[in-house]
Amino acid sequence: MSPIRPARRLTLTEDVYTSVQALIMDHVVAPGERINIDALARQLEVSPTPVREALARLEADGLVRKRPLAGYTAAPLLTRAGFEELVEMRLILEPAAAQRAATGGIDADALRAEADLPDRDAGIAAFTAQDARFHHLLAESAGNQMLHEAIVRLRSHLHLFRLHFPPAHYGVSAREHHVVVDAIAARDPDAAGAAMREHISAARERHLPYFAARPA
């Protein structure tokens, strides 16, 4: 088990959230495992309060679950059926967001700055966090609050990266992001929507080998 570094004091709340998220994403806390708030607070050298705040955020993200009288547990991993439902929802929502962003006044340079992704040395949690920032900024730029919120709620896709993370994502996903940004910068909604559909579909294909031997 990797050692847990104490959270920095200056950004306590965010650091605790990031630290607990990494523990779940890196399988230090296993899927379905009960989370002991007091023990986690001691490990992170903080009080239980920021740990509870972090867990509440992670519950909204779909990474932990809270049950009456049982406390928090790490959420189970996506099944093949759940994965396919997630992809279907993303294909409905995110191309529409990209199309809307291409017709608005989005700062394409700001979006492009978020399009690059960390390499494998940074770890899975860092990769998925940056990937989420790109997709969420694009969704926010669509100018439809309900559409943005729906896409943000799909962060349950983080479970998939805990399950299996294809090395092919490194480098390739960032290039696909930039194709989307190029279309948005050109104010071409059809190209932007198509590029997002291709990105999501390609990501699905990169994951399918893992699920091939699993029941749907």
Q: What is the pLDDT of residues 43-82, one digit of tens each?
A: 999 999 999 999 999 998 888 999 888 899 998 888 888 8
- Sorted by sequence, the CB contacts under 8 Å of residue 41 that are 6+ apart come out as 47, 48, 50, 51
Burial group, residue 11, by CB count within 10 angstroms (0-12, 13-18, 19+): exposed
Per-residue pLDDT tens over the stretch 136-187: 999 999 999 999 999 988 876 667 666 677 887 888 999 999 999 999 999 9
What pLDDT band is residue 1 in, cutting at 50, 70 and 90? very low
Q: What SS3 state is found at 28?
A: coil
**Does 122 or 100 have the greater pLDDT score?**
100
Give the 3-state DSSP-derived string for 37-52, with helices as H, strands as E and coil as C: HHHHHHHHCCCHHHHH
Looking at residue 9, what DSSP letter applies?
Answer: S
